[in-house]
Structure 1
Amino acid sequence: MNSKVNHSELSNQLIVNLPILFSQPTGIATYAANLFPHLQPLNPTLLISPIASKHFPLASEFPCYPIPGDLTPAQGTKGHFRRLLWTQFKLPHIHHNLKSSLLFSPIPEAPIYTNCRYVVMVHDLIPLRFPKRFSPLTPYFRYYIPQVLSQSQHILCNSTSTARDIIDFYNIPASKITPILLGYNNHFREWGVGSRECGGDAMVGKSPYFLYVGRHDPYKNIHRLIDAFAAIPNCRNYELWIAGSSDPRYTPILQAKVEELSLTNQIKFLDYVPYEELPIIINGAIAVVFPSLWEGFGFPVLEAMACGTPVITSNISSLPEVAGDAAILINPYNTSEITEAMAGIATDNNLRSRLSHLSLARANQFSWEKTGKATVEVLSNYL
């Protein structure tokens, strides 16, 4: 890690705050990890922990300023709370000491009631759309984030859908918001003919399977996905794989539902799948099914399309922005629509082939290079 920062050379310098990077990234950390290499034209200084820098070798190509490693989502609520305190009381001093004129945060967190100038990224406002009683995210989104956004120089977001939410929930003017669609890693790619028919090299002999990738929160709509799968004619000839970290609040309820339907042999809970292994199971699936009730962007949809895997996803929020005409769009509240789409994929080879070709063409419109270039253009306006 290059932590030797010459403070005298950093006037008007951009600093990029990366406390959320850790070894098992989810959506937001994936965004941060893939974006920062493309900010090179601005010669930023990265605020990154020594632990995180070991997992992201490209960080060594930037001036780096070491920060604590216990501020990540891996530490749960404690990490979140520590990060907020650090952001309010430590980050302003770093900003001052580095003589930086602009802070960029890949999450909507920044020091408030200070003279720090910053641009932030908003990924979604799902805790406001689907509030949970006693969740610490409720006051966070209702009171802290709106203050951050009101004091920011500019706001980035990951879709037009998220931009509309920022305007509607926080009354932020549209002129202060720039939507920038995201990208995908190059290791998400098509394996070629046969991978979906046999379930991938590591899956030979398994039944054809549908795949869901993501968390188990209720708004992800997995309970309807399970019901939809159970209603497929001859569903016992297929499997449904649910990839995503187990959650003691929600996973047992889903598993109990599977047991009630006597589908424990057909529906597999894979728990967390390492990021580098996701292309294996995506390529092996006959379709990725992502019937979420709301998304700020929807990485699983884009990553599946990049692999040429047919996609079934929701017709609301940002998901049509990502999928375009390359997926089967369903009403996520209508279980029978999900069933019909899955049954069509299971039985119609021509449909699978057509969706696969459309998916690859659609994915080619997205890249981290495009995301980075658009981000550099915005940040340059405030340096």
Structure 2
Amino acid sequence: MPRVLVDAAAVPADRGALTRYVHGLVAGLHRAGADLAVVCQRAEADLYRRLAPSAEVIPGPVSLTNRAARLAWEQTGLPLLARRAGAGVIHAPYYSIPLGSGLPTVVTVHDVTWFTEPDQRSPRASFFRSATRTAVRHARRVIVPSKATRDELVRVLAADPTRIDVAYHGVDLAQFHPPSEEEVRRASTRCGLHGRPYVAFLGALDPRKNVPNLIRGFAAAVKTLENPPALVIGGGVHQYDVDAACREVEATVKVVRPGYLGASDLPGFLGGALVVAFPSRGEGFGLPVLEAMACGAPVLTTHRTSLPEVGGDAVAYTEPDADSIAAALGQLLASPGRREQLRTAGLARAREFTWAASAEAHLSSYQRAIE
């Protein structure tokens, strides 16, 4: 296969699951023996050299940390760089693509919630809707992380299903693993819990993540417990609806918001939780669910979009409204046996999703684009 150029410069370093997708994919492509070039932000060049020692790692211009400058460079500088690097195909892993490169281009569309979620009205949402429409129309192949996302692309944008390839994400079992007692203790201290039991959420605070209903449902689920656990909302920044939901609950309900958690904290944080609750209204894949299962956490999520493809029979499900979350969460908190069953099933399920398999699916998509 000709050389593949992955435009990792499009991915901000602090974008959580998106960053882990690109890192896992690049490492998987390297292990699969792909002839690989990676263009990235200058500050991340050494990281990509460690992830893919055989790849040609090309630091982009300093200006790429600015979105407007990066998008302009994507249309002009990236095609020139790709040709100079001898690339036969370009992979754009984050919605937008170069339109005049003259090379086959593959794009990853992670989800279509920018179109389907009623709360997505910001200028950022307008950009992603426009970029997605353009990419779906002009890319040779479109990679999506689930069958649900493929079906939504066809339904919402009338995309051609014969040009869409499904490539599930993987999970890095070296990073996401059942934690040691020391890892659990460190994460508990980092969150200010000092050993107190807790229910965990990890992710951005976008409206579709449904965190306000999780807070309300959690408060209802624990209100009669003598020694209730805390709810820890990891990741994200302050968001108005979440702040308002926190003010609604009684002062006796402990909601902890530690902010961004480093990679080394995640196994202890996820694996040390009584339950990891992820009641999202819609996901392209749902990487936090997979990573929580890999850490040995019992997971509660919803039946929406891709989440059943990831969780299968190894997670518990709820509807996304607060009352349903309260009922489902209450049942899990009252049943250590059920939590242990989910813990065991989740570990087995997580092993089915590998970056090696994801890399092979990507390589097949690149080959189709070239052909």
- Compute the TM-score of the two structures, normalised by the length of structure 1: 0.87
Structure 1 residue matching 2:102: 3-state secondary structure = coil
* TM-superposed deviation, 1:30: 1.2
2:235: which partner in 1?
244
Q: Kindly provide the CA deviation profile for residues 115-146 of structure 1, in whole angstroms up to 9, marking residues without a partner as x.
A: 23211111011111125576223432343322
- Match for 1:225: what amino acid? L
1:209-220 alignment runs, 5 A limit: 209-220=198-209
Q: Which residue of 1 aligns with 2:171?
A: 184
1:277 matched residue in structure 2:
265
Superimposed CA distance per residue, residues 84-132 of structure 1 (whole angstroms, 9 cap, x where no aligned partner): 1111122122233334321111122211245232111110111111255
- Counterparts of 1:132 and 1:337 in 2: how far apart (Å)? 21
Moved over 4 A (4+): 131-134
Match of 1:55 among 47, 51, 55: 47
Cα distance in 2 for residues equivalent to 1:199 and 1:95: 42
Is the contact between residue 124 and residue 296 of structure 1 (CA under 8 Å) also seen in structure 2? yes
**Paired residues of 1:19 and 1:69 also in contact (CA < 8 A):** no
Cα 1:328–1:85 shift into 2, 3 Å: same
- Structure 1, gaps ≥5 residues long: 1-10, 73-78
1:293 aligns with 2:284: no
In 1, Cα distance between equivalents of 2:91 and 2:148: 22
Shift of 1:353: 1.0
What corresponds to 1:234 in structure 2? 224
Tell me which residue corresponds to 2:132: 145
**Superposition pairs of residues 313-352 of structure 1, within 5 angstroms:** 313-332=301-320, 334-352=321-339
Provide the secondary structure at the position in 2 that maps to 1:231: helix
Q: Which residue of 1 aligns with 2:184?
A: 200
Contact preservation (8 Å) 1:132, 1:138: no
CA drift of 1:159 comes to 0.4
Q: Distance in 1 between matches of 2:164 and 2:199?
A: 37
Once the two structures are TM-superposed, the CA of residue 12 in structure 1 deviates from its matched residue by 4.1
Q: Structure 2 residue aligned with 1:158, among 145, 148, 163?
A: 145
In structure 2, the CA distance between the partners of 1:331 and 1:18, relative to structure 1 (3 Å rule), is same
| Higher mean C-alpha deviation, range 198-207 or range 145-154 | 198-207
Written as runs of structure 1 = structure 2, the 5 A alignment for 1:10-159 is 12-40=2-30, 41-56=33-48, 57-72=50-65, 79-132=66-119, 135-159=122-146
Distance 1:381 1:98 in 2: 21
Structure 1: distance between partners of 2:19 and 2:85: 24
For residues 293-340 of structure 1, the C-alpha deviation after alignment (integer angstroms, 9 at most, x for no partner) is 1111111100111111100001111101100011111111x3222111
Alpha-carbon contact 1:15-1:45 (below 8 Å) kept: yes
Say whether the 8 Å CA contact 1:308–1:359 is kept in structure 2. yes
Change (3 A) 1:167 1:69: farther
Give 1:153 deviation, angstroms: 1.3
- The structure-2 alpha-carbon separation of the partners of 1:18 and 1:166, relative to structure 1 and needing over 3 Å to count, comes to same
Which among 310, 321, 346 is matched to residue 359 of structure 1? 346
TM-score (norm 2): 0.89
CA distance in structure 1 between the aligned counterparts of 2:120 and 2:236, rounded to whole angstroms: 22
Tell me: CA distance 1:133–1:378, structure 2 relative to 1, closer, same or farther (3 Å).
Answer: closer
Matched, 1:255 2:255: no
Cα distance in structure 2, aligned partners of 1:174 and 1:264: 51
2:292 and 2:36 mapped to 1: Cα distance?
Answer: 32
Quote the RMSD (CA, aligned, Å): 2.3
* Contact 1:23–1:55 (Cα < 8 Å) also in 2: no
Identity %: 27
- Look up the match of 1:171: 158
Find the partner of 1:302 among 290, 304, 320.
Answer: 290
How far residue 350 of structure 1 moved from its aligned partner, in angstroms, is 0.9
1:267 CA displacement: 0.7
Alignment-mate amino acid for residue 200 of structure 2: L
